[in-house]
């Protein structure tokens, strides 16, 4: 079965600085990759997804992610972080069906003023 590793449990960045959250996956075939964001007390919201095609994917709220097959990675980036981006971020990998999505343990983002 597929699996996901998010190496960073907690990251702190200054407002206006750039951000990169790491995600590594394990899956034998072409993965379906996702990033979700969770604000405190809320459910998860889909930021972006990758199925095929262009390896640089644009999402909502100014986020983007790049699929690198050679590194089994799908890192999330944002050029300039806003205080409202403080949240927990989850990477997920699916098998291209509707019944088996695996989530990473999450990375908590703190934004310093």
Q: Which residues bind another protein (CB under 8 A)?
A: 4, 6, 32, 34, 36, 41-46, 49, 51, 90, 94, 96-106
Please identify, using beta-carbon distances, which residue of 50 and 111 lies nearer to another protein. 50
CB of 80 to another protein, least distance (A): 25
Closest CA to 64 of 35, 90, 42, 93: 35
Q: How far apart are CA 87 and CA 20, in angstroms?
A: 14
CB of 68 to another protein, least distance (A): 20
CB of 49 to another protein, least distance (A): 5
Please identify, using beta-carbon distances, which residue of 56 and 60 lies nearer to another protein. 60
DSSP SS3 for 33: strand
**Given its phi and psi angles, is residue 95 left (phi above 0), alpha (psi -120 to 50 degrees) or beta?**
alpha
């Amino acid at each position: 079965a597929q699996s996901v590793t998010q190496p960073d449990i907690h990251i702190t960045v200054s407002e206006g600085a750039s951000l990169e959250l790491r995600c590594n996956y394990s899956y034998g075939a072409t993965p379906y990759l996702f990033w979700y964001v969770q604000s405190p007390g809320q459910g998860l919201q889909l930021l972006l997804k990758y199925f095929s095609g262009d390896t640089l994917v644009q999402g909502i709220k100014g986020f983007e992610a790049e699929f690198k097959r050679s590194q089994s990675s799908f890192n999330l980036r944002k050029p300039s972080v806003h205080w409202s981006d403080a949240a927990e971020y989850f990477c997920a990998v699916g098998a291209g069906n509707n019944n088996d999505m695996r989530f990473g343990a999450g990375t908590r983002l703190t934004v310093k003023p």
